[in-house]
Structure formats: structure tokens, C-alpha cells
Amino acid sequence: MFFYDLRLSTEHQLGAEMQKIKYDKIRKLDKIVFLALGLILMALVIQMAILNWINNKNTAKMSEVLLDRVVNVIEKNEDDEKNMITSLKEDYIVRAKAVAYIINANPDAENNVDELKKIANLMSVDEIHLFDTTGKIYSGTIPEYYGYNFDSGDQMEYFKPMLEDKTLTMCQDVTPNTSEGKKMMYAITWDETGTRMVQVGIYLALAAAGIIYMYVKVTKAKIDELTGCLNRRAYKDDLNGISLASEFVYAALDVNGLKGINDTLGHNAGDELIQGAAECMKQCFGSYGRVYRIGGDEFVSIIFVDESELKKIREDFDEVISHWSGMMVDELSISCGYVYSREKNWESFDEIANEADLRMYEAKEKYYSVEGRDRRR
């Protein structure tokens, strides 16, 4: 009773805080929805552009590359999607356990609809249902559901294994519920006493928002924060989706003179140099493929062009670099090593990467020799 009285004494404060949190969540969800719509619109625009250029030889080739990349992205993200959904289900099971704990600590709430609704609001779930040991709903936030049991349709039957094992927890995929056909995600657990099961339900919109949030988290994990380029993790994942038989150029790129800049002007200037290099790469290579930052001043770009197109791209890249100037650093130099996928029959991507690195270091040696600089600076 002391726990319950204490909870009541802080109810108004918690209520105000939860309302603020709920409002913030709604605002964030609105932003996510608008972002998703924007991405869909962008995809449609790209699709229209591809269709309009379909008779052009280069565009037909680029369309094929884009389609291959889409397939690769889908295949690579299947595991990420499974991990996201698993994490989401684990979170809902934790919420079900928390509800069970609160009800155990406050027995008067067990058959009090208003109190159960407050607990649901506190735990950010839409429904709470209490089942007896036979699998029948005897209490919860929706009295109309009382009496339903694990034999009341396919959606309810999913949880029947709970009757055989009181250590079990389960979370259902988004499924229309038995009573109203509402698309819900339900998680269920036994309470500590083993006398009842506690189930929480989340509407489809909230469950979808959770999935989107987890997807954004996974996507952000593949972005380098300093430059906005893809990182080493994305690089390794993408290599698994590219065939050695396909036509592409692998470029190893390294910023010259970074140590000297860090030592004389400071690391903020060094960061500016790295960011400047990344912007030049994205400007020149981004339309043809991807740019990755795989180390401090080390980058890789994989672009889907043939050998003849590479000459013009390299010239444009050199031109962009020559005109770059920052706030703290006046000039930029990048050593590059390019490898065309059809130069020979490569055994592996490691062989291509090693050859590109070799050519990049040869260019770096030439740069330091011509400039008369100490390579260590």
C-alpha cells in the first residue's frame, strides 16, 4: 500500500511529464512520416528520370547498375530488418514485464480499468490485458474483450504455448486482432507469481514508428559523422553485394599532408581538410557510385563507369581539388589509385584493393618527391 500511496502522490507530476513525452513523440513521429514521404517522392522522381532516359545507352547501363544496387541493398538489409524487429519485440516484452511488476506491487489496480489505463499511458502502450491460468481475459483496459481466450481465433491462438511453459515470453508480429480486426502487435509474459499472464498491445502506427526508428538507427550506424560519407562498416557490407564480373572502378584515395596540418594548425584544421576532401569526392564520384571513409585520411570510392568515362571524371576531380580552399587551410591535395575491374580477371576484392593502394602510394611518393616535403609531415 505504501508503494501505491507514493505513486498516487506523484501522479500529477508524472502525468504532466508523460504528456510532454507523448507530445514530443508525436512531433518526432510526424517528422519521420514526412521524411518517409519525401524519400518515396524522391524514389518516384528517380524512377521517372530513368524511364525518360531509357533509350540512351549510358542511361540503360546506369539503370541496370541501379537495379542491381537496389537488389543488393534489399538483400543486405534483410538481416538488419530481422535484428530491428527482434529488438522491437524485446522492448515490448520488457514493457509487459514492467506492467506485471507494477500490478503485483499494486494489487488494487488488477481489476480497476482506470488504474490500468494510467499504467498503459505510463508504459506507452495502447492496451493491457490480464489472462488467467486457462488463457482467458478477465481484466484489462478494454472490458469488451473480457472472456476472450486462446481459442478465440487465430490471432489469440498464437499465444497457446504460454499455457505449457510459465517461463515463456512471446511477442506477435503486427496482426489484426480477433475482436475488431485492428492491426496490433502484442507481447505477453507470466507475472512473478505464475497466477496470471500480462499482455500489452501496441497499435500498428506506433509499432511502425518503432521499426522506422530502429531502421534510422541502423542506417546512421553506417555514416561517418565527420564527413557524411559511408563508413568502413558500410564499405564491407557493400563489397558483399558487388560482383567481380560487373564493370566498375575502384579508387583508393588518401589526403596528403594531414599530419603537418594537424601539427601546425591544429586538429580542427585537419578536420576541415578531411571534410573538404570528402566534399570533393562526393561532388565528383557521388553521381556514379559511393564514397567511403575507411580510416583517418583514407577513403575509397566505387563508381560504376567504364574506363573511357573514368578519364573525364579524373580530370573533373583534379579540377575541383585545385580550386578548393577552406577557412583554416588554403589548399588540398589527394593521392589516388584507380583500378578498372576489367583490367584482368581479379581473384578477389582484396586483390583489387591492394592494387589500388599500391597505385595510390606510388602517387603519394611522387607528390612528396615533387613537393620536396617530408612524408611524415
| Domains of the chain: residue spans and CATH | 76-209 (3.30.450.20), 232-368 (3.30.70.270)
Q: What pLDDT does 88 receive?
A: 75
What cell was used for 80?
538488419
Task: Mark out the alpha helices in 53-203 (DSSP H runs).
Answer: 57-105, 113-122, 154-157
Task: Output helix, strand, coil percentages for the chain, rounded to the nearest 5.
Answer: 55, 15, 30
Angle (deg, nearest 10), helices 11-52 and 57-105: 170
Q: What pLDDT does 338 receive?
A: 96
Nearest residue to 159 via CA among 180, 190, 183, 138: 190
Query: What are the pLDDT tens digits along the chain (377 aa)?
Result: 444 444 444 444 445 555 554 455 445 555 554 555 555 555 555 555 444 443 344 444 444 444 444 444 444 455 555 666 677 788 889 999 999 999 999 999 999 999 999 999 988 889 999 999 999 999 999 999 999 999 998 889 999 999 999 999 999 887 887 677 778 889 999 999 999 999 999 876 544 555 555 555 555 578 888 998 999 988 998 898 899 999 999 999 999 999 899 999 999 999 999 999 999 999 999 989 999 999 989 999 999 999 889 999 999 999 999 999 999 999 999 999 999 999 999 999 999 999 999 999 999 998 888 766 655 44
- The C-alpha atoms of residue 368 and residue 377 are separated, in whole angstroms, by 10
Task: Decide: 141 and 116 in contact? Cβ < 8 Å.
Answer: yes
Sequence-separated (6 or more) residues with CB below 8 Å from residue 3 = 105, 106
Task: Decide: 254 and 335 in contact? Cβ < 8 Å.
Answer: yes
Task: Decide: 156 and 178 in contact? Cβ < 8 Å.
Answer: yes
Burial class (CB in 10 A: 0-12, 13-18, 19+), 58: exposed
In whole angstroms, how far apart are CA 105 and each of 98, 100, 171, 256?
A: 11, 9, 24, 64
Task: Decide: 343 and 351 in contact? Cβ < 8 Å.
Answer: no
Does the predicted model carry a pTM greater than 0.95? no
Q: What pLDDT does 241 receive?
A: 85
Q: What angle do CA 90, 91, 97 make, to 5 degrees?
A: 90
Q: What pLDDT does 222 receive?
A: 83
- The C-alpha atoms of residue 147 and residue 131 are separated, in whole angstroms, by 9
DSSP string, 159-175: TGGGGT-TT-EEEPPSE
Q: What angle do CA 229, 341, 276 make, to 5 degrees?
A: 25
Task: Decide: 231 and 295 in contact? Cβ < 8 Å.
Answer: no
End-to-end CA distance of the chain: 71
